[in-house]
Structure 1
């Protein structure tokens, strides 16, 4: 943070006060859709107001002062930049690029969200809240005295909002003209979110949905598997929406048959078969028994596919589904990433072909979580792995762009380059190219 911004944020936390440009909320649970919608509404309203700040983790006392709200989480990991930016991207249209800072103003550390202003069009909600009351699709929100975030209710409020957008457009235009006359480079208008940024927002939203479905312990703690991976992909340039029945058929026809548990499998049994949710086709294999996410995480898939070719799959590690053979959370199979990620790449390419875009570019992303303190092994015993290759890092994100038509022919080469950083986490283990070649061939032949 720049020194001026640092000082401003520390002053906000040290002497908190609410006004039209500052909102203070208690500890929002950003795995809860209602709380996500509440935060999104404030972000939209502040953006339309001209920008501002949101302080999380405080409440107002009867004396009118602010103090720490009850329920401070053990860590502030749930308020990271990517999480809150993902919420802004998922709920606001046009997209808003927020900043998130952990600020110590002398009274403890609190998350502060910085919302930019200067938008050329009014920001509206592109998704609604679960109760369809807090946040409504297509509605515009502004800041009003109280202060509060609400829809414009008078002609004057609408006029002020439109005037603010017009001024932003005029200022950019005048600055561009001055730049031309002065012979200097002009600052280009902000680009729309990149394909990777759009995919990241989609993948994060899927992860939030999955976490929200997790079982809860007697002490009200979400129970998640000790490890999981999240695969997401997006077809570049896909803007034509696919109707839900055709979308489900495309997913089903793209199902690979290389292993006994295919990615994006379309079950037909009542209770676990896919359904339409928020315009996307969604499936949760553990819908009838959420405990399966912990007891048998490798067979409790959650997946979503959007009408515009975005897909996300979340699945627990196979190694954690056999407690009778190995302690969950302790080992990482040396061959399974080749099988699982290879299977997902082939499915993505088949999906592109199923919707008539066999030569489309695919942005492909994987996040592994729960890697720390696991050691490399080979469960089947076909490959001898020396003991002692242990990961000290818990998560890894990888993303690449690949052409769908090249996946089948170049699968070993694609997997080798994509997976090398994953294996290097395990005490610099060097992934043998021969291992990838052999396991990819076994995958294609269905010799799991």
Structure 2
């Protein structure tokens, strides 16, 4: 569950007027602010506001909270929307925009206060939502590793995926592997392939995977175009991460770059990854194996749900999406992948598809695509 920074709100206490960043969950009007003693009285007011019949009005420009004779309005113009799942991620993103708003006194001071304040375990737990801590932290570190790799690229380099990308993180437990060498061997030679560019593509040139501490990682963007500039990591402890550009943004796609979200691609790619996950578990886990799986799409706002091959499935167009980031998560026994792959895909992807004007993911479509994936076994 993501939290969105929606403003910097003045907090009127017994002393001077201060400001602090205000966060809310996109699926509710619950507000959360920095948990420090300095703002203790007002924090309690915000956290229990709904019990006091407080009215929360959220718009693109500000948030207004009214309860009895008390009212607070945030200072925000919608220009620097920040989303985060942990306080650390929020701090990192706030640091990135801090120089852009130095002339806006309340907001600048609020950001400085938030960054400097001590950690709040309670706020951290609220940010994490449904994501298991270990998997989420792995995904944050993996995304930061990718950000470090692409940092030297020019600002307009397409390998930055500025128009959109998707990423997946999963964990298999238990997971026991004797060495990185053994893990690399299985990934290279014994994992299934159901497309020409499978998940965790293993190349043998300057883009070959490399050992890095307790992980194997690969950035496939060296000396190539953006369409194949994947980044992936797999660890000895059973965590994996894959980040890819939106295939819908390729020049040969039916619709213009940044306008489409394909009906079929998420089903195909997620099927491939789940099958890949089950293969890793068969090598390095046991019959009790469980997995956690999180998927996120970035750069989705304004895209329409449609199809590169509309005549094949006769699918309608839905949308546009009004949220830029879409995420979903499941946790199940690994054996469910072979027993009920269709059901897993429906549970995982339906929350993504419904963000396009309440589109429903048809079970029949899932069955057809999965059948194609399984028939297209290349290894």
TM range, normalised to the smaller chain?
0.5 to 0.7
What does the per-residue CA deviation read over 1:154-192, in whole Å, with 9 as the maximum and x for residues that have no partner?
xxxxxxxxxxxxxxxxxxxxxxxxxxxxxxxxxxxxxxx
Q: Residue 399 of structure 1: SS of its match in structure 2?
A: strand
Matches within 5 A, 1:22-37: none
State how far apart, in whole Å, the 2-side matches of 1:218 and 1:410 are.
Answer: 44
What does the per-residue CA deviation read over 1:346-395, in whole Å, with 9 as the maximum and x for residues that have no partner?
11111111114354100111111111111122112312233443211111
What's 2:264 paired with? 335
TM-score normalized with structure 2 length: 0.67
Q: Residue 203 of structure 2: SS of its match in structure 1?
A: coil
The alpha carbon displacement at 1:343 in A equals 0.7
The correspondence for 1:229, drawn from 137, 159, 166, is 166
What's 2:80 paired with? 75
**Gap change, CA 1:117 and 1:393, over 3 Å in 2:** closer
Q: 2:280 aligned with 1:275, yes or no?
A: no
State how far apart, in whole Å, the 2-side matches of 1:13 and 1:405 are.
Answer: 54
State how far apart, in whole Å, the 2-side matches of 1:273 and 1:249 are.
Answer: 13
The correspondence for 2:251, drawn from 322, 337, 344, is 322
TM-score normalized with structure 1 length: 0.57
User: Are the equivalent residues in 2 in contact too, given 1:376–1:385 (CA < 8 A)?
Assistant: no
Q: 2:111 aligned with 1:110, yes or no?
A: yes
**Gap change, CA 1:440 and 1:218, over 3 Å in 2:** closer
Q: Residue 300 of structure 2: SS of its match in structure 1?
A: coil
The correspondence for 2:296, drawn from 367, 371, 384, is 367
User: Are the equivalent residues in 1 in contact too, given 2:254–2:308 (CA < 8 A)?
Assistant: no
- Which has the higher Rg, Structure 1 or Structure 2? 1
State how far apart, in whole Å, the 2-side matches of 1:432 and 1:194 are.
Answer: 25
What does the per-residue CA deviation read over 1:57-80, in whole Å, with 9 as the maximum and x for residues that have no partner?
xxxxxxxxxxxxxxxxx62638x4
Q: Which has the higher contact order (CA 8 A, sep 6+)?
A: 2
State how far apart, in whole Å, the 2-side matches of 1:406 and 1:106 are.
Answer: 48
The alpha carbon displacement at 1:416 in A equals 1.1
What's 2:321 paired with? 391
State how far apart, in whole Å, the 2-side matches of 1:220 and 1:259 are.
Answer: 27
What's 1:210 paired with? 146
**Gap change, CA 1:76 and 1:221, over 3 Å in 2:** farther
What's 1:197 paired with? 133
State how far apart, in whole Å, the 2-side matches of 1:388 and 1:116 are.
Answer: 42
Where do 5+ consecutive residues of structure 1 fail to align? Answer: 1-5, 15-50, 53-73, 89-102, 119-192
What's 1:309 paired with? 238
What's 1:346 paired with? 275
Q: Residue 213 of structure 1: SS of its match in structure 2?
A: helix
State how far apart, in whole Å, the 2-side matches of 1:311 and 1:12 are.
Answer: 46
Q: 2:222 aligned with 1:287, yes or no?
A: yes
Which segment drifts farther, 432-441 or 354-363? 354-363
What's 2:352 paired with? 422
Q: Residue 430 of structure 1: SS of its match in structure 2?
A: coil
The alpha carbon displacement at 1:109 in A equals 3.7
State how far apart, in whole Å, the 2-side matches of 1:325 and 1:219 are.
Answer: 23
Where do 5+ consecutive residues of structure 2 fail to align? Answer: 1-10, 20-36, 39-78, 93-103, 122-128
The alpha carbon displacement at 1:446 in A equals 1.0
User: Are the equivalent residues in 1 in contact too, given 2:174–2:285 (CA < 8 A)?
Assistant: no
Cα RMSD after superposing both structures:
3.8
**Gap change, CA 1:251 and 1:109, over 3 Å in 2:** same
